Structure 1
Amino acid sequence: MTEKLTFLGAKTTCKDRWRQILDEAERTGVKYLATMEKGISKDQLRQMQVSGVVLVVPKKYHDYYPEEYRGIFLL
């Protein structure tokens, strides 16, 4: 039944708070995280990707993120 679960978390800023969703959605594979933050470090983006977190970021903010990570964005 867990394959039918979808998780969408929302954080105005991510910093280290994005890790909270790992516990909140431990039964789901991919975790979607909506944020309005203008840019996140490459190290944090790598950690998110390894943890199965997909960022949902408004398109107008994509340029604030490293180019190699823009493919993990939605919207």
Structure 2
Amino acid sequence: MKRKEFTNLKNKTLEDLTKLVREKKEESLKKKMNGVSGKDKNLKSYRNLRREIAQILTLIKEKQIIDKLKSKSEEVKTK
């Protein structure tokens, strides 16, 4: 994934990111099956796809942690 694409992903919502992960996982499964059956000669594309999924999952986790911290800080301010 290129740096510009990655920065665009940072602006997306959690729902959009989870949909994207689901799509990428389906694509990953297809590529894996094609690689095993010998239809797809480009094995690097499967590895790159797995890497993209990991990057998106990391973004999702970061956003969840940030949301938790924001909610905790708001609770402290209200007390």
Q: TM-score if structure 1 supplies the norm length? A: 0.27
Higher radius of gyration, 1 or 2? 2
Q: Which has the higher helix share?
A: 2
Structure with larger RCO (C-alpha < 8 A, sep 6+): 2
Q: Which has the higher strand share?
A: 1
